[in-house]
Chains A and B, each alone.
Chain A
């Protein structure tokens, strides 16, 4: 069966510091991968998606970036965090069908 992992689970970072969040999927090959952000009390916003290694599509211009160095690894990064980057970050995967399956999420607080 397929599983999706995200880490860290919780992160507190100062403004201006770098960020690296990691997502890995097990039990499947060539998944589509997605990064979403959920701000407090609000819905989900798609940030990036990837259909293959090195292929990244950005949905929202911002100071975040994404990379996919391996087939089942998706990384969300920032060089300098802003207060507005605080939120709950969710990774998701899908294969063939249109159903997306979500990871447990990373709660990021920028102080």
Chain B
């Protein structure tokens, strides 16, 4: 079945540091790929997505590129802020199906220190 593997956390960075959270996946065909963010005590918010190979999703300074050849969708940000502290989830949905179920990674806790 489909699966998503994220780098283990927690990750602690200083403000303005460069962020990379690795995500690799296993799926047939061309799944859609997502990054969601969860702030403490809240639900998940869609951060960015990509639906085909070589697509780059971007939002709020975060970027991720759909790499079919390496089955990866790594999340990057050039300069993190304290407000970016949250849990980040990589996820995928299959390329077909009436209710495309999300398969999540285990999440990566990010803490940004001032």
Residues of A within 8 A of B (CB): 6, 32, 34, 42-44, 46, 49-51, 57, 59, 90, 92, 94, 98-105, 107
Contacts and interface: CB of A to CB of B under 8 A. Distances in A.
A100 to B, nearest CB: 6
Consensus secondary structure, chain A interface: strand
Given A43-B107, A98-B93, A90 B44 contact: yes
Interface string B74-92: 0000000000000001000
A109 B102 CA distance: 25
B102 A46 contact: yes
A104 B100 contact: no
Consensus secondary structure, chain B interface: loop
B42 A105 contact: yes
Interface residues of B, number: 22
Q: What are the 10 closest A-B residue pairs judged by CB atoms, nearest first?
A: A98-B93, A98-B100, A102-B43, A102-B44, A43-B106, A105-B43, A32-B99, A104-B43, A44-B104, A98-B32
A99 B34 contact: yes
Interface of B: 32, 34, 36, 41-46, 49, 51, 89, 93, 98-102, 104-107
B17 to A, nearest CB: 25
A49 B101 contact: yes
Nearest to B107: A43
Given A90-B44, A99-B34, A57 B99 contact: yes
Contacts of B51: 98
